[in-house]
Structure 1
Amino acid sequence: MVVPRQRPPRLIRPVREPATAPPPLDGVWAPTDVRLDRAEVLPLPPGARGPEDVLVDPDGRVVSGDEDGRLWWWPADAPAGTPPRLLAETGGRPLGIELDPTDGTLVVCDAYRGLLRVTPDGAIRELTGAAAPVHLADNSAVARDGTIYFTDSSDRWPLSHWKHDLLEHRPNGRVLAYHPGSGRTEVVAAGLYFPNGIALTPDESALMLVETSTHRLVRVGLPDGVVTVLADLPAYPDNVAAVGDGTYWIALPSPRLAVVEKLLPHPRLRQLVAMLPDVARPQPQRYGLVALVDGAGTVLRTLHGPTGAYPMVTGVRQHGDQLWLGSLTGTGIARVDLS
């Protein structure tokens, strides 16, 4: 089964914004720890690519997806180069993967199917569907009572045209909550700029959230949905994963691009750029980067891969003294020793 892809709008609707400038990678962001360039890679099968997120399940399996709608798993102790085994096929495009603490199943954000529940044996059940109010389910966090908070990154652009949403630079995204008891989906916070990675605080009183297009780390209060900006990041953020001790890993696929930020005051020019072939538009920088932050947004640690040996890190997950990485464009997941 292949799920039909949404048809994107014909033109972006950019708004004029003040130009910004990327800060340098110095201070706590300086590339003093470059271990991401030495990451061990566990490959997807030949021809597969795009393991956007990564999760270690209770059975010790490392789970990720690919752009063809398949979910794969590897043993967490597998040596580098080990091929995966097939877990399930969604027919869509799996992005964020989380564990439901109430029953041990996986909650998968599928860009074209909405929220999915996947059992350990690979059975799939659709929770929300891709119909309104869900358009681009991206990343989720599951509360102890089973409530699933997840990002709906854009109500205009499908995943295939995510760069158009960033060029448009409008607050097209939301945070939604799915309640499994009633099957109801409600809006927690709206007016967000491509909300992406999301994680619950230990006391579940708030969500840690990143906005990709405004490169911000924010805190979303629960249940009021009040958004507080915590940090302006020097790179575009993607998925966020809670460690469990009040700290969070953020995957940052690329340092910010000066040319993109200089385009912000020029809506018409951005509209023209959006009409160019993708290869002619500004491209993410090939640079590996993840950061560990606390609940106030203070950066505690950064890991770098300046050569881009493992490119476009979009997923990050700590399991013991290992850090697992996913990539929107890579051909496998990666593992890094933290000790």
Structure 2
Amino acid sequence: MGKSSNTVRLRRKPGLGEKGKKAQIDIRKEDVNKSTNCLQNLCFVLTALICVGSAFLGYAYASSPISSVIVLDSHDATDIIWNRKYNSNLQNGRKVLTELLGPESIAVDQQGNWYAGLSDGRLIKVTNPGSPSEAVVDMTHGVAYTADAGRSLKRPLGLRIFQQKLYVADAYQGIFSVDLKTQAWEKVIGFNEVSPELQFVNDLTISEGGDIYFTDVCARWQYSQMAYTVLEGRCTGRVYRISRNTTTIKLIKDNLCSPNGIEITRDEAKLLVSEVARRRISVIDIASTMIEKKILLHGGADNIRRSPSGGYWVPIPTLSHWAERYLERYPIIRDIAGKILGSNAMSLVNIMHQGTIIKLNEELEIQEIHQDSSGKVARTITQVQEYEPGKLLLGSFTEAGIVKIDKLLPPYRGDTPSPPGH
């Protein structure tokens, strides 16, 4: 009898063999190669995009129409306490004459007729406003005040009424007057009658003696290129005076930062000039032509107008936001933006979908703030015309129609705390 064995033999799984092992290695190598190729392709695409993007940005910078500078003399709007106060008082108004586009400035005569300059270059008169017999009259119909001027474009901006004449600051052409009885036009000063030529005439004010003070926003850019004046950051704006007695023109102040709206104080000793590119109002002493005070704002102000109840109305069509303050330090980015965005670059540095007006008291301190922070009724307000005590007309350089407010709600005042939750 043979010897029994308790040993259990285990079966070994069949191996892959040399061919199997080699195939598995080849598969792994192929996967690695595919991953490497994908990574290489991705790197190539990213490199190509970076090169193309860099070349495009380099081209945009090199061919930019503007030459920006670093801005060091502006303030941070967020530091202004009343910048964080909000209300919707202007929503108490209603829009009228919505067929009128861009009524930037508004004047009202003694008979209650309204006057406004529009985006299409027309100057219009609204007779019997709000009544069944209301009518809109084109005061530029048949008037070729650009004939042989050297510039064909026209855009009436600032308006003033003085001794039965309507004075018009045309952005391209200069200063004109219109007889309110005969509607006869007369050129006061043409753009090419000043050296260097006027580029962007904006607003005007008239003294009791008939002297005209007006602003020229920029020495280089015209109205259609207004975004460039803000982006570039240069201060080449001017204020002039036209003497009524001698009809001579005199430079009052230069090197201003996009001077826009202008108003003479009641004692006729000072000029209030809104410097849009620095978000401030400069108070200029007329006798010495020195800047006595700077009123810091949270956006660029426009046409400043006296209130019949005392003080001065200041519209702020564009509010500052963080991008503006950031970009002020980087002129290269602004140059590139100027090339790529063109006139749309305004929206890059400003908040425009809102309505804000403030009122200064006779001591030139901020007294009231009224807003439509959501822009439901009023946006990009460029002028406040108080045609009767407490009754306002609001103009805009971008919106259609005139906002009419019959009664303002109580304002936020500069010395009161903000409402709960604001």
- Normalised to the residue count of structure 2, the TM-score between the two structures is 0.72
The number of residue pairs the alignment matches comes to: 326
Q: Which of 80, 94, 102 pairs up with 2:156?
A: 94
Equivalent of 1:332 in 385, 395, 401:
401
The yes-or-no answer on 1:62 pairing with 2:97 is no
Give 1:4's aligned residue.
Answer: none
Q: Which amino acid aligns with 2:177?
A: R
For residues 85 and 128 of structure 2, what CA distance do their matches in structure 1 show?
Answer: 30
1:1-339 to structure 2, matched below 5 A, reads 11-18=65-72, 20-23=75-78, 27=82, 30-32=85-87, 34-45=88-99, 48-75=100-127, 77-78=129-130, 84-89=136-141, 92-100=154-162, 103-120=163-180, 121-131=182-192, 132-133=194-195, 134-244=198-308, 246-278=310-342, 281-283=345-347, 284-308=351-375, 309-320=377-388, 321-338=390-407
CA contact (8 A) 1:28 1:301 kept: no
CA RMSD of superposed structures (Å)? 2.4
8 Å Cα contact 2:217-2:236 kept in structure 1: yes
Larger mean Cα displacement after TM superposition, 186-195 or 57-66: 57-66
Q: Unpaired segments of 5 or more residues in structure 2?
A: 1-62, 147-153, 409-422
Displacement of 1:146: 0.5
C-alpha displacement at 1:278, in angstroms?
4.0
Rounded Cα–Cα distance in structure 2 between residues aligned with 1:149 and 1:43: 30
Deviations 1:12-64 (A, max 9, x none): 121112475332775486223x232232222254xx51111111112211111
CA distance in 2, matches of 1:232, 1:31: 18
Could you report, residue by residue, the CA deviation over 1:179-231 in whole angstroms, capped at 9, with x for unpaired residues? 23322111011110011111111110111111011011111111221112332
1:225-245, CA deviations, whole angstroms, 9 ceiling, x for partnerless residues? 111233210121111001256
Contact 1:29 1:302 in 2 (8 A): no
Higher strand share: 1
Higher relative contact order (CA 8 A, sep 6+): 1
Name the amino acid aligned to 1:116.
Answer: F
Q: Offset at 1:319?
A: 1.5
Structure number with the higher helix fraction is 2
Structure 1 stretch displaced more, 164-173 or 276-285: 276-285
Structure 1: 5+ residue stretches without partners = 1-8
Q: Distance in 1 between matches of 2:251 and 2:258?
A: 15
SS in 1 for 2:323: helix
User: How does the TM-score come out when normalised to structure 1?
Assistant: 0.89
Distance 2:382 2:112 in 1: 21
Q: Is the CA contact 2:172–2:191 (under 8 Å) kept in the aligned structure 1?
A: yes
CA shift for structure 1 position 71: 1.2
**Counterpart secondary structure, 1:128:** strand
The Cα offsets for residues 78-137 of structure 1, whole Å up to 9 and x where unpaired, read as: 169x6622233565110000112xx22111100011001011142211111111342221
